[in-house]
Amino acid sequence: FQGEEWAASTPWPFFTSHPEPELGEAVRKGRTEEFSRMGWDPALVPDPQDPATFTRAKLNWDEVGEGEHGRLLALYRALARLRRERPELTDPASAEASAVLVAGDDPARRVWELGRGSLHILVNLSADDAEFALAADADVLLVTGAGVAVVEGVLRLPAESAAIVS
């Protein structure tokens, strides 16, 4: 939504264009009060009636294929492709999707394995590398970043990354 699939740098503020001045003012006042209750400086709350608030929200389409933006978009596309191809990711009636396995050796470590059917989603949200034993016939379908390595049946997953294995 609004460029999320490619980490758009554009902010997504709430904006309105109420032609009735009293309605526009009520919305402006309500937003300021709402954000003030959350600790925001009222001077920093974007004015929803200001046309500049809308203008700042327009996506910068030039960045969609650049650097990290392009990498994240490619990941979203690969995930969407896998979702179309693998019934265990979408069809709750599928035998492959009926059971979900979740395993982690230590919740504080933030390393998990989720299994659904023949798929295993390996997640490493820790600051260190993590290792996962793989079956001999395992196929790595997707990785979220560089540095993933499979050596002698062990998948090494760098910090803050994930892989999907069949």
Report the alpha-carbon distance of residue 136 to residue 113 in Å, rounded.
Answer: 17
Predicted TM-score (pTM) of the model is: 0.74
- For range 8-14, the mean pLDDT: 90
Note the pLDDT of residue 99.
Answer: 59
Average pLDDT of the chain is 89
Q: Give the per-residue pLDDT at 1.
A: 77
pLDDT digits (tens, 9 = 90+) for 113-128: 988 888 899 999 999 9
Confidence of residue 96 (pLDDT cuts 50, 70, 90): low
Residue 132 CB contacts under 8 Å (≥ 6 apart), including other chains: 113, 120, 122, 154, 155, 157, 165
What mean pLDDT do residues 148-155 have?
Answer: 90
Q: Convert the pLDDT of each residue in 125-148 to its tens digit.
A: 999 999 999 988 899 999 998 888
Q: What is the rounded end-to-end Cα distance, in angstroms, of the chain?
A: 29
How far is 80 from 87, CA to CA, in rounded Å? 12
Burial of 147 (0-12, 13-18, 19+ CB in 10 A): exposed
